[in-house]
């Protein structure tokens, strides 16, 4: 243009400027930057469901899934990120959690993709 400032308040702390090259940017109060380019497609990807119940649990935690490509790997982490259980299952499985302290836990289930669930043990 003609040398005029097209964004007179761009340098204001209330209107921060983020300059990014070759990336896709989404902005809210947090900034998420995704790698540009094509997203690879896994042609062998199979969608599956995992049910974990009851939630909250007291003594037993049940797992069921419709995953048909073998076993799912399960990792249970406490709120500090420490591993408290690790196992694999197909179809359904129950585990004893009565020895775990009450609190919030995260269950990571890995098949073709990783799914994370939040559970409460009382």
- Average pLDDT value for the chain: 79
> Domain total for the chain?
1
Of 64, 72, 114, 120, nearest to 97 by C-alpha is 120
Alpha helices in 1-122 (DSSP H): none
Whether 15 is covered by a domain: the verdict is no
Distance from C-alpha of 109 to C-alpha of 103, rounded to nearest angstrom? 19
Give percent above pLDDT 90 in the chain: 57
Whether 63 is covered by a domain: the verdict is yes
Task: Note whether 115 and 74 are within 8 A (CB).
Answer: no
**Domain extent for 84:** 50-121
Q: Is 70 left (phi over 0), alpha (psi -120 to 50) or beta?
A: left
Whether 69 is covered by a domain: the verdict is yes
Question: What pTM was estimated for this model as a whole?
Answer: 0.63
Whether 30 is covered by a domain: the verdict is no
CATH number of the domain encompassing residue 106: 2.60.40.3080
Question: How does pLDDT run across 25-80, given as a tens digit for each residue?
Answer: 444 444 445 555 555 555 555 678 999 999 999 999 999 999 988 999 999 999 99
Whether 5 is covered by a domain: the verdict is no
Whether 115 is covered by a domain: the verdict is yes
């Amino acid at each position: 243009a003609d040398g005029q400032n097209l964004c007179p308040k761009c340098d204001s702390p209330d209107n921060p400027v983020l300059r990014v090259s070759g990336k896709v940017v989404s902005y809210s109060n947090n900034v998420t930057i995704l790698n540009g380019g094509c997203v690879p497609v896994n042609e062998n990807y199979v969608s599956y469901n995992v049910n974990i119940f009851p939630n909250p649990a007291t003594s037993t935690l049940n797992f069921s899934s419709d995953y048909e490509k073998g076993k799912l790997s399960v990792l249970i982490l406490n709120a500090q990120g420490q591993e408290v259980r690790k196992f694999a299952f197909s179809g359904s499985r129950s585990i004893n959690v009565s020895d775990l302290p009450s609190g919030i836990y995260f269950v990571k289930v890995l098949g073709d993709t990783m799914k994370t669930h939040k559970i409460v043990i009382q």
